[in-house]
Every structure is written in structure tokens, then in C-alpha cells.
Structure 1
Amino acid sequence: MKIKKVAFWDNELDWCFEPIYFSDLALLVGVSGVGKTQILNCIWNLQGIANGDSLNGLAWDVTFSTVKNVEYRWQGEFETKKIPGIIPNKEDEINKFRIVKEDLFREGKSIIKRTSNEIIFKGETTPKLSPFQSVVGILNQEEDISPVQDGFNKIIYSDNSRSLNGILGIRLNVLSLLSNNNFDLENVQASDMPILLKLALIARHLPKLFEKIKFKFIDIFPHVENVQIEAVEDNENPSFTRFPIQIKEKGVKDWIFQNNISSGMLKTLIHISELYLSPEGTVILIDEFENSLGINCIDVVTDLIMENRNIQFILTSHHPYIINNIGMEYWKIVTRKGGVVTVTDAKDLNLGKSRHQAFTQLINLEEYSEGIKVE
């Protein structure tokens, strides 16, 4: 999937961001508090909505294309309830939120037309369906709708806890994958397995690809001489086998296990692995790209992002080095006035031709330095 345009409204909190247009790479820049992280969170929420989440007061309008270059536009809105201080239980119907409208277009042709009273699918009124769930989630087996859910399920919010913890305890039935002689890289890329489990499978079945990932990692951390993933028996819980990352540092006798590896090193390995082991059409969201990544990490990971293979990246950053090393054509300056978030392409601000000149002008722009304006 490739997101082309998205707009989002939160009617409960009374804020929105105006339509943002995306290419294969977007770097959202701006001062703290303007809404960069909120933009990523809203895109992430679309995955939840496509899988049945009911979210108070949210409305959306997103245009995207599938890996087969079929264009869809998906719009919708949930009712708004004021529930101060209460966190709704998703399983409690009383705290679920009805969809008041929803539209889905495929190549400009209406597939779904939904109001609060009826749902029309390809010109026919459907039987009564759940009022709390998107039709995209309910009718996900339909030929014209399944690519929508499939596309949103390829969104990765990089560095969530699942990425780090998923490999620490793996049931023994995973051993069948590790010993499978009919290993298929595309199936592993397309699966929802934690990224470090994918890496364990690659280490076993595709050692040349694992070596490529490993040496990219060692380029960043030259004090590391080797990386491996080996099965470790868990004596306290024999129904589990662990496959932790292990690194061998120069001048250090013993291997260092995953729980003793720095978070920055693990995060870097995750980023590199995602670039190689995510399927075509993946959208990778990375908030504050520089966090826990040392300056020595940024060059290699940024270069890999720029060499991506049909993978879309939407990043946020405050770091001058990151901004200065990603072409200004990918910069999107985020500002906020009250509850309205606006994103402006750098090319519309007539910045200098060289990156250094453009960056110097960027940080002195009123739109950048005074990104939050009061009403």
C-alpha cells in the first residue's frame, strides 16, 4: 500500500489535520507539540478501524493505492460522545461508537455507501450489520474490499514493544518453521510475526541475507564482531524455546544476550531488519527517528531508507543531522493553530537549493520556529 493523501478529525477533542499529501518518503519536521506524533497515531488508528475498532468522534478521509496500483478512497466518521475521565471498555457495547457515515471508492467508483440508516454495497442494500464497525472490517473477504484491510495491515509503527519482546518466548511449534525445508521468504515477509522472529528464520534458512543484515549492523557498531540467533532452552518453562539475539564484541570473551544489549543497538537492528524483511507495500511509521540512535547509526539507516524497495516511510524528527541528510523535497513542515494542524511542503517555501542552505533557512522560518500559534 502507498498512502497518497490523508485528513483526520477528532471531534471529541476538537482538533484536526488538514489534507496531507505523501510520496514514498515523508519527513515531518516542526517544534514539539505541533502534532507530528498525532499524525502518525492517526494513520496507525486507520489500521485499527479497518480491523473493527470503534473510536469515539474520529473521522477520516484517506486515498491510497494497493501494490497492484489500484486506487482507493476511504472516508468515514464515528459518532461523538463526551465521556470525561472515562476510558471505555472496548468489549462493552454501551461504550462503543456508531459509524454515522462511511464511503469506499475503487478507482473512483463507489463500492460502499453507508449512512446511519443503511449500507449499500455495490448498489445493493445489505442485511443489517454491526453499527459499531467499519464495513471494511466486516466484509473483508469481499474481492473489492479485502485489499483495503490487507493494505492497512501492512502499516508498521516501528519500535513498538512487540518488536522487542516477540522473540524472547516462542512456543516450540515455531521449531517447525525453523526446520522447514520449503522456506518461502515472501510468506515470512507477509506474515505478522514479530520482526526478530523473522530474523531468526532468515538466519536459519537464508544465511546470505542474514549476513547482509548483520554486516550492515556491524558497519554501525564496529566494536561488534559477530551476531547470532541460537535456540536457548528454558529450564523453568520447557514448553517454550527462546531465540534471543546475541552479539559478540571484540575483546569480550562471552556472547552478550539480548536482555543485556542496549536499546539503541536493538532498535537499530530492528530498523535494518524491517527494511529487508517487510513485504512490498509496507508503510513504516517512525516517530522521532533519532531517539536512541547514536550519530553513528543514523547514516547507515538513513541510506537504507533512501534505497527502499516499494516501501513507504513516514518519519518525524527534531534532529538537524536527520533533516540535513534527507532531501528537502521530502520535508513537510508541521504547524498548528489552536486545534488545526497544517502541513506545508518545503518546496512551497522557496528554500535554498543546497541542503545546508535550505536547512539554515528552515530553522529560521517563522513556520518552523513558531510552529504553534494561538487563536
Structure 2
Amino acid sequence: MFGLGIKSAFSDNIAIDLGTANTLVYVAGRGVILNEPSVVAIRSKGGVREVLAVGDKAKQMLGRTPESIETIRPLRDGVIADFVATEEMLRQFIGRTKSLVEFVRPRILICVPAGATPVERRAVYETAMSAGARKVYLVEEPVAAAIGAGLPIDEPKGSMVVDIGGGTTDVAVLSLGGVVQASSIRCGGNAMDEAIIRYVRRRHQLLIGESNAERIKIEAGSASRAVNGEAAEIVIRGREIREGKPKTVVLGPQDIAEALEGPIEKIAEFIQHTIEDLPPEISSDICERGIHLSGGGAKLAKLDQELERRIGIEIHLPGQPEQCVIAGSAAILQSLKEREHLLIKP
């Protein structure tokens, strides 16, 4: 179907988890050699856009640039929003990979959200080709996540994975080595950051930026209002809305849980509706085996417990959920012929 004639571990095969928040690059035989924020710093001068930095260096500039420089996330909700910036970011990331591994034009396996449209898939395909790929293969993120999480997808029983990324939450149900159902909603880690920004503004009349909201989520975030043991608190400083004066506020896990009520409820309802739409036998398998989480958003404290409480099905959380997609992509890359049916057309 895709004309694959590839041996299992060529050094010029790479997998890319092109995420809204972070991009990870895996090289066959070498492992994950790059994990950086999907951020690009651009200077505009005389109508010409010049890329100044990508990844970690660009993220350090967020909210701190002069008028002539903008820092952007070229992917929104898991799909490309700025083609030129995404292409340059990919080109630089692939270039860094080339400096470590000797190959000319690599074959690339790249992940896309389950709900990506044919137009969005084609955009990812063409951007990767323009960035220096010799051949590009596409796979849905939750499918890669299921394999990376170690789910027995080849068994005649249903397995479900929920991949919570920066821009989207993707769900895949697999059985007998194939996809029974895959879908996504545009709600993930970024929506949680935005919810924190709105909460702090509404409750404390304080303006904070995206980077500060992400720090709050990571350091003191919790999906549950129930506090057990020693609760982490975080001090935030910002500009008071009415008078414009500096203001300091202390937030705890209960505050963050209240702020994140909306996004968590949306994700829980999405999972619930997906299960309701499954054939009875598959739905029964999921209820028996539980649901596996993956993605950076799954690292939010007590999210697994809160989703389990709301959905009523056991939730499993792997040790490194943010690595599941790239680990699954690597496994597919190493056995492309056997996993050809999991690839999707650009």
C-alpha cells in the first residue's frame, strides 16, 4: 500500500513527535537525541521574517522580546498554524540530528493527531519533506502512544490509550493489531494553562503570562481539590489589573484544581463518550482492562485519580507518559513492514 521496502534499523531512519508543546526526535540505533519546546523566535524587518532561534533558546525569550521580535508556537492544537516557522524549526532540529548521525536525507516517521483533517496531514507531510526528508510516513499519535505504553494491541481484546498533549487529547482503541476507533479534541496542556491565566485574573485581578501559568501547573498543579499530606504552594507575582501595581499571590493545589475544572471535565466527557460509542464487546474489554494515559499533560498531579473518579474505570499511568508517543514511533519505525497497516496516508 505504501511501497515500503525498509530494513529494521537503518541509521537514516528517524521518528519525530511533533507536538504543540515539545518536539522529540528519535534516531534508529541511537534513541531520543532531541527533546525541545516547539517554539520559534522570529525577527521581522522590512517585511522579511528571519528565524533567530528555535527550541530551548526561543522559549527563554517568551514574553521578553522587543517589538521587532516575536516568539511563536508554530503548531496549534497539534496541527501546523505557521508553515514557514514549522518548516524552519523542523529543518534546524533535523540539522542538529545530522550533526550527531551521518546521513544525508532521512526517512521520517512523524505523528499527527487522530482528528487531523486530510489537509492538515498533507501540511505535516509537505513540511517534513521541505525540511529535508527523503521519505515521510504518518501515524496517529494515540496509536504510537498505545504501542509505546506497552499495550497488547495484537490480542483479540480492546485496549484504550488517552494521549494528553499540549494542543489536543487523543484517544485510540486498538484490537487485533488494528485501530477500532481514533479521535481527538482540541483540549490539552495549553488549555489548562489558559484556564489558570483566566482563574488568576478573575479571582485575584492579576495578569500573568503563558510561561508563568505553565510553571504554576507544573510546580503546584493538581487535578483534585482533596489535599493529602503536605500540599505544595507557589508564589506568583504579576501586575494588578485595576491599578497596574505589582501584586503577589500564593496559590495551592486546591486553587489550581478549581482553575482546571473545565478542561478536566471536557477530557473526562470525551473519554466517556468514546467508550459509549464502542461495540459492546470492546467496551467490556476497556472496563475490564482499564485506560492507559500518555502525553505530557498526563503528568498533572492526581489527574489519573480524578479521571478514574469521574469515569468509573481504572486509569493506568506509566512512569514516563511524555515518552510514550516517541517510544511507540520508534517501535513502528523498527518494524515498518509489520506495522504498515497502522500508517495513514498524507
Q: TM-score range by the shorter chain?
A: under 0.3
Larger Rg: 1
Higher normalized helix content (fraction of residues) = 2
